[in-house]
């Protein structure tokens, strides 16, 4: 193929992809047209996923006025105003919109489930694990944590911890970091990705031992049990090396992901049972985030109440720990939330 033909092909493909993207955005904007009551409704199924996270869908009960609100772009919206669909979701008149979630929840669950003393100490000392990881990667010196940039922390650090703890390989780590280049301006090569992978057996050997324990459990028994006592049976194929490896990775991830989902579900139930609708109204759960609204005069009380419910302690492997909760609020729209202090 001539160079000129390649350029034409590239432009044609870019144009097609843009048209597909624009078509998708048009369907989203049309889909969030409010119902007669002024609200957009999203059907949630608490038994719709394997990890116990809620699944979302539109519902025939409201047509129009119903959409799968879990699919509204968030990361892409940071790059292009066209994708800021969450800005269209506003509080009810006279109300404040709030969202609460746990801080670094999956990383904390994995640390305590694995019983990794290095990772547990990081959390108990109040150290940011993502910056810690980047400092090790760049300088082999965790004391230089303050020199890690925000972009490195949010790209390399988050991928290194959240993907690395699930035993993914260096190619996956590399692709995951580079996929967000437009967002963070950070990319890595194969050598750096291999170093990221090597940090785990070197600095966190207990987590690597935990991977082996999960592998033995799921391949010999066919199930795992998370810290809440939830038993999950794995039906993936085990008659090939690649099939077995896929099942093991799924089981390693499920422990932390399902525990976090069940922690959020527990908080939703308690908040709803004790405080809805007198103090606040629970609206939905999306991506481990609890969305609710309340009267402006109750701001301080709501923040304090939600944090107190979510920050009840958990116990894993004989250790008691608390996962800090963050509450964001807005009087304008879902896309412009700011952290509130209780």
**Domain residue limits, the chain:** 1-30, 105-261, 263-339
* pLDDT tens string 299-330: 999 999 999 999 999 999 999 999 999 999 99
Residues near 214 by Cβ (< 8 Å), separated by ≥ 6?
224, 248, 251, 252, 255
Kindly tell me the sign of the dihedral angle through the C-alpha atoms of 140, 160, 113, 244. negative
Note the pLDDT tens digit of each residue in 7-52: 777 677 777 877 887 788 888 888 888 888 888 888 888 777 888 8
In three-state secondary structure terms, 36 is coil
What digits encode the pLDDT tens for the residues 81-108? 888 999 999 999 999 999 999 999 999 9
The C-alpha atoms of residue 325 and residue 311 are separated, in whole angstroms, by 6
Percent of the chain topping pLDDT 90? 71
What mean pLDDT is reported for the chain?
Answer: 91
* Contact partners, residue 207, CB within 8 Å, separation at least 6: 110, 111, 114, 116, 119, 165, 200
- Judge whether residue 112 has pLDDT over 60: yes
Is the whole-model pTM more than 0.75? yes
Query: Looking at the chain, which runs of residues are DSSP E strands?
Result: 43-45, 55-57, 95-102, 223-225, 231-233, 281-286, 289-295, 314-316, 319-321, 325-330, 338-339
Strand partners, 282: 292
3 state DSSP class of 283: strand
Residues 150-165: tens digit of each pLDDT:
999 999 999 999 999 9
Give all strands (DSSP E) within 240-330, no chain letters: 281-286, 289-295, 314-316, 319-321, 325-330
For the chain, give percent helix, strand, coil, nearest 5: 55, 15, 30
Beta carbons of 217 and 251 less than 8 angstroms apart: yes
* Rounded-to-10 torsion of CA 280, 281, 285, 291: -60
pLDDT given for residue 59 in this prediction: 77
Between the two ends of the chain, the Cα-to-Cα distance in Å is 63
Helix (H, G, I), strand (E, B) or coil at 285: strand
Phi, psi torsion values for 59, nearest 5 degrees: -135, 140
Query: Residue 123's closest CA among 103, 141, 108, 143?
Result: 108
CATH fold of 105-261: DNA polymerase; domain 1 (1.10.150)
Look up residue 340 and give its two tokens: 């509130």
Q: What is the DSSP string of 60-114?
A: TTSSSSB--GGGS-STGGGT-GGG-GGGG--PPTTEEEEEEEETTHHHHHHHHHH
Q: Using only C-alpha atoms, what is the Rg of the chain?
A: 22
List pLDDT tens digits, range 119-148: 999 999 999 999 999 999 999 999 999 999
**The predicted structure's pLDDT at residue 3:** 57
pLDDT of residue 46: 79
pLDDT tens string 164-179? 999 999 999 999 999 9
pLDDT band at 4 (very low <50, low <70, confident <90, very high): low
| Rounded-to-integer distance, Cα 313 and Cα 275, Å | 20
């Amino acid at each position: 193929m001539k160079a000129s033909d390649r350029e034409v092909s590239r432009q044609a493909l870019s144009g097609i992809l843009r048209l597909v993207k624009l078509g998708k955005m048009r369907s989203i904007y049309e889909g969030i047209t409010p119902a007669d009551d002024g609200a957009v409704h999203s059907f949630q199924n608490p038994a719709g996923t394997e990890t116990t996270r809620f699944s979302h869908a539109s519902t025939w009960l409201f047509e129009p006025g119903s959409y799968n609100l879990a699919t509204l772009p968030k990361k892409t919206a940071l790059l292009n105003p066209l994708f800021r669909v969450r800005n269209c979701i506003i509080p009810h008149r006279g109300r404040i919109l709030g969202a609460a979630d746990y801080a670094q929840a999956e990383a904390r669950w994995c640390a305590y489930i694995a019983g990794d003393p290095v990772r547990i100490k990081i959390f108990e000392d109040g150290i940011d694990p993502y910056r810690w990881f980047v400092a090790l990667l760049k300088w082999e010196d965790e004391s230089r944590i303050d020199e890690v940039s925000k972009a490195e922390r949010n790209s390399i650090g988050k991928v290194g911890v959240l993907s690395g703890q699930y035993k993914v390989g260096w190619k996956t780590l590399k692709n995951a970091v580079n996929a967000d280049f437009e967002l963070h301006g950070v990319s890595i090569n194969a050598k750096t990705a291999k170093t990221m992978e090597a940090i785990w057996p070197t600095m966190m050997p207990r987590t690597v031992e935990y991977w082996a324990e999960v592998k033995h459990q799921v391949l010999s028994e066919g199930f795992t049990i998370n810290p809440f006592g939830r038993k999950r049976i794995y039906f993936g194929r085990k008659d090939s090396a690649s099939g077995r490896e896929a099942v093991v990775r799924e089981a390693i991830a499920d422990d932390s992901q399902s525990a976090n989902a069940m922690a959020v579900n527990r908080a939703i139930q308690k908040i709803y049972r004790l405080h809805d609708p007198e103090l606040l109204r629970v609206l939905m759960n999306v991506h481990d985030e609890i969305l609710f609204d309340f009267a402006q005069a109750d701001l301080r009380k709501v923040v304090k109440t939600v944090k107190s419910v979510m920050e009840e302690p958990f116990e894993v492997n004989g250790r008691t720990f608390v996962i800090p909760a963050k509450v964001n609020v807005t009087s304008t729209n879902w896309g412009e939330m700011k952290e509130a202090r209780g």
